[in-house]
Chain A
Amino acid sequence: MSSAERQSVAVAEAAAPVPPLDRRTRKFTARRIGTVPWWFVVPALVFFLFVVLWPSVQGAAYAFTNWDGLSATKDFVGLAQFERLLKDPGGVGAVVHTLLIAFAITVVQNLIGLLLALGVHSKIKSRNILRVALFTPAVITPVATGYLWKYLMTPDGAINQILGFFGLGALQHDWLGDADIALWSIVATVVWQFAGYSMVIFLAGLQGVPEDVLEASRIDGAGPFRRFWYVVRPELAPAITINLMLSIIGGLKLFDQVWVMTSGGPGTSTDTMSTLIYKNAFQFGDFSYGIAMALVLTAFVAILSTAQYKLLGKQGGTK
């Protein structure tokens, strides 16, 4: 390979974030710089095995026992814990709530994040300060934002005061005390906190949209929606993939805000899989039931995130 070719490979590699090395480059690599020793991975692997992999395998195994977490005896009970989950209205409810939360957060947070990114990625003069302001909630401790919104959402809190001030008294609610809307109030809190997070990832994707193509399509008479769909969207594909992945996983695992704002209440109307896992394992002394639930959660995370990766990845999302 000539040095000019090498140069172009290097440039191409630098341009694409995770490029697969092509066959020629691979052989070349192995021959010229020898090998990096395998033991470099050992420290990371030891921590990873100890903290993630081995306990997860253990967890998956305990789900098929009746261990209470303390006693020395554990008996194999097969699928009994999963049957319990299916017959437990609280357990099924938590699964439904978790899926609703994950779906709502994924759609709303990314839609708002995208609109914010498009608004900030423009000629407006306040774009820098807006970017900073909109990202601020994302760095705040979720426990703190949970309490903040719990206060804002109290019956005589700021939200109802503002609604009253604008003569919208009919829209006032007991946001967290009403079993029908408490779940959506929590979703709103999470969306407020992380819309700026999605925005920043979309903004990074928007940097790659070619200005001249945008300009040319405008001259050719393409409206804003066609310009977005045909010029902007393909450039945004990696950002869309990563944003969807992060919000699906974040929504499925949601715990902090729920625990702080409602602890799963009123009744069981906002129990998620994470809060129920915590309650069962550490408050009700029902370790293996909690773990069976965690295994179901794992399946959801794996299935949904692989599905979206496969669906969007095919469209060039992983270029």
Chain B
Amino acid sequence: MNRYTWRTFILEAVMVLVGVLFFLPVYILVNLALKTPDDQSSPLAPVTNITFQNFSDAWSQANLGQALLTSAFVTVFSVLIIVAISALAAYPLARVTKRWSKWLFFVFMLGLLLPFQLALIPLYTTIRDLGLLGNPISLVLYYAGLQVPFSVFLYTGFIRAVPLDYEEAAAIDGAGPLRSFFSVIFPLVRPITGTVIILNVLHVWNDFLTPLLYLSGSNQQTVPVALFSFVSQYVSQWNLVFAGLVITIAPILIAYFAMQNTIIKGFASGLKG
């Protein structure tokens, strides 16, 4: 059972082949971004004459510096708000057993079923009337609300699983509910905070449709939108386009490879329940 048999070897060979096939597009992406536009070799052939010209061209022509800053601003602030308000809201939802608590949890979960397309258009008019179109703050507000149901769902499940003994001890020592939350509950649920952060960072950083609507016409674009308008202009210059793609997915990929174990574990531990 625990030996490495010839069956294991065949499985290993098949899986490595599948892994290579899966990774091939990512390889082509980086490979092509490093080639000069007049390099006629197959996209699969490794680059021989490395150039970084595509990267500097894409950087300046797509205004990627600005886009990365805007995306970073939106991601950091919306995820901070999401974590703070969702964890706080999940605490009574997990602990209070009165009727209002159950109903409120149900109302939040209703949000999981409502596709954002339904709210998209009315919310667009509200944001327009508030004069926030073109302002990245509109996106921070939007994600903070949109991601509440899922984050509350994860936090509530996790807090319910925390034994009551710690809060009792804190209560006996005279801690109020706010103190209990910050000194006892929040530190105890750190694993799920990791999951909530990972899932929300991915969602906010990668989202396309909402920033396309709310920031259109302004010079502050998020990364996916900047990429979209950049590619519309340079549609057949794939070397340039791919350099742009590499730059914009680099921050996420670097973070992912640096913390892959934490990310995969955190991702799964929050979702498997």
Residues of chain B within 8 A (CB-CB) of A91 are: none
- Contact at B125–A51, with CB atoms within 8 Å? no
CB distance from A115 to the nearest CB of B (A): 9
| A287 located at the interface, meaning its Cβ lies under 8 Å from any Cβ of chain B in the complex | yes
- Contact at A17–B157, with CB atoms within 8 Å? yes
> Can you list, as one digit per residue, whether each of B73-106 has a CB less than 8 Å from chain A (1) or not (0)?
0000000010011101101110111101100100
A141 and B15 in contact, given A10-B163, A59-B122 (Cβ under 8 angstroms): no
Instruction: Pick the interface stretch among A32-40, A77-85, A166-174.
Output: A32-40
CA A71 to CA B154, docked complex, whole Å: 42
A158 and B44 in contact, given A116-B18, A152-B25, A192-B22 (Cβ under 8 angstroms): yes
CA A141 to CA B112, docked complex, whole Å: 22
- Contact at A21–B8, with CB atoms within 8 Å? no
Instruction: Pick the interface stretch among A103-111, A177-185, A225-233, A292-300.
Output: A292-300
CB distance from B72 to the nearest CB of A (A): 14
Number of interface residues of A (CB under 8 A): 112
| A308 located at the interface, meaning its Cβ lies under 8 Å from any Cβ of chain B in the complex | no
- Contact at A274–B148, with CB atoms within 8 Å? no
CA A101 to CA B8, docked complex, whole Å: 35
**Cβ-closest chain B residue relative to A149:** B25
Task: Jot down 17 A-B pairs with beta carbons below 8 A, ordered by A.
Answer: A17-B157, A38-B101, A43-B88, A49-B145, A52-B148, A55-B120, A123-B3, A126-B15, A130-B16, A136-B23, A141-B223, A142-B208, A144-B249, A147-B231, A161-B42, A200-B267, A306-B113
Q: Footprint of A on B, CB under 8 Å?
A: 1-4, 8, 11-12, 14-16, 18-19, 22-23, 25-26, 28-29, 32, 42-44, 81, 84-86, 88-89, 91-93, 95-98, 100-101, 104, 107-108, 110-111, 113-123, 125-126, 141-142, 144-146, 148-149, 152, 156-158, 160-165, 167-168, 171, 177, 181, 202, 205-206, 208-209, 213, 223-224, 227-228, 231, 238, 241-242, 245, 248-249, 252-253, 256-257, 260, 263-264, 267-269, 271-273
